[in-house]
Each structure stands twice: as structure tokens, then as C-alpha cells.
Amino acid sequence: MTKILDEIDTCLLQATQNGFPLVEEPFREIALKTNIDEDEVIDRLRNLRQMNIIRRVGASVNNRKIGILANAMVCWKVPRNRIDDVGETFSKKDQVTHCYVRKTIPGRWTHNVFTVLHGYDEKIVEKLVREMSELTGIEDYMILFSSREFKKTSNGRIDKKAIKLIGGKSID
């Protein structure tokens, strides 16, 4: 198994998991905390970003706090041979933040493509969903608006066991 992350990478990702410190020179502070040289901190983060292990270096915004109150998960029933083009069309929409194909459960759940959409209100989102339906001709769908958010964190946590699996080493 090839080593993707080494001990230092892992250490860095763990140290920045809760975000960068909001100071003039954040990487200097991280350097002090991890005992890794500031230049190396920056180089390694750049490298991880380049390899797309880091998807994005940026702020996570709480949509609801800025008035984007409507969050809809839309479940679509898409025929197998249409998944490629439909998935691509859906993904092109700015307001679509997630688009997944999921395994169905015959007899219980037969919608296979899932999109998550955000909008200032439910009407706007409903209109967009109608557009997506017209654009693709997929008419069998369900809109599930969220009424409460119970948890929202990053799914790309640094799981200690996972790190061992990919050949890295975790620090405590």
C-alpha cells in the first residue's frame, strides 16, 4: 500500500481540523503548535490541496444565518441509462451543492439520484426543481425540505483507524 499521508501531514490535518486561527499569520501559530516549520506547514498544505486530499481551503458558511433558509433534498427516479446525463445536468446548477447516486431498496425506496439544493425560500427551490425536471424529463421526484438541522460537520474527519489503513500514522 502506498503511503498517501505521512505522519506530518496527518498532524497538520488534525491541527487544522477545527479551522485556522484568526490571526494575522495563522500558519506561524500552527507551526508553533505542531513544531513544524512555518514554510513547511504552507508547503505541505499546498501539496495536499494539489493532490485534492484537501478539497478546498475556505470558510464554511451557515446558510441559515444569511437567510438561505430553504434546504431541500430532492430524490429522483432516474432510469439506469440516463444517470450519466441527468447527473451531469443536475450538477451544473449553482444551487445544487450535492448530487449523488445511491443504491435503492427494492419495494421500499426506489428513488436513486439525490440532489441537495439551497435557496432563500421554499418557493424558489420548488421552481428550480421544476426546471430541473423539465430540463431532464425526469418527472418522478420527491422534495424533502429540512425543518431542523441537528448536526452539520465535515465528513472528511481524520479518522485514526482510517489513517492506519491508508498507511499514514496518527498522532495523539
Partner 1 sequence: MIKGKSVAITRPAHQAEELVEIVMKLGGQPRVASTVEIVPTSDIEKVRKQFKLIADGKSDIIVFMSQNGVTSFLSLSEKLGLENRVLKALAKMQVVAIGVKTKMNLEERGIRVDVTPADHSSNGLVATLSKIPIRGKVLVVPRTDKPTDYLEKGLAGTGVKIVQFPIYETRIPRDKTEIYALINDILSGRIDIITFTSSSTALNLLKVAEELHQAEAVRKALNQKVVVASIGPVTKHTLEEKGVNVLVTPNEYTVEAMMIELERYPLTILKHESLDEVDLNILGLVQKEIPLVKKPWAEIGLRLGISSEEVLKRLKDLTEKGVIRRIGPVIDARKVGLKASTLVGMRVSPDRIDEVVSIINEYEEISHNYERKHEYNVWFTLTAPTQKKLNMIVRDVTRKTKVSEDDVLNLKTERLFKIRGDIKLK
* All residues at 6 or more sequence positions from 93 whose CB lies less than 8 Å from its CB, including other chains: 117, 128, 132
What one-letter code names the amino acid at 41? Answer: V
Site string for partner 1, 1-20 (x = CB under 8 A): ---xx-------x--xxxxx
Verify binding: residue 126, partner 1, rule CB under 8 A.
no
How buried is residue 21: exposed, middle or buried, by Cβ count under 10 Å (0-12/13-18/19+)? middle
C-alpha cell at 123: 418557493
What does the DSSP 8-state code read for residue 78?
Answer: -
- By the 8 A CB rule, do 158 and 48 touch? no
Verify binding: residue 172, partner 1, rule CB under 8 A.
no
Q: d(Cα 91, Cα 100) in Å, to the nearest integer?
A: 9
What one-letter code names the amino acid at 107? Answer: G
Q: Which of 112, 11, 102, 98 is nearest to 55 (CA)?
A: 98
CB-nearer residue toward partner 1: 134 or 167: 167
Verify binding: residue 22, partner 1, rule CB under 8 A.
yes
List the interface residues with partner 1, window 25-44 (CB under 8 A).
Answer: 25-28, 38, 42
Choose, by CB under 8 A, the member of 11, 45, 78, 138 that binds partner 1. Answer: 45
Site string for partner 1, 76-105 (x = CB under 8 A): -------x---xx-xx--xxxxxxxxxxxx
CB-nearer residue toward partner 1: 25 or 134: 25
In the complex, the smallest distance separating the C-beta of residue 92 from partner 1, rounded to whole angstroms, is 9
In the complex, the smallest distance separating the C-beta of residue 35 from partner 1, rounded to whole angstroms, is 18
Choose, by CB under 8 A, the member of 36, 76, 118, 136 that binds partner 1. Answer: 118
Choose, by CB under 8 A, the member of 32, 33, 37, 57 that binds partner 1. Answer: 57
Distance set, CA 86 to CA 57, 91, 117 (Å)? 29, 8, 15
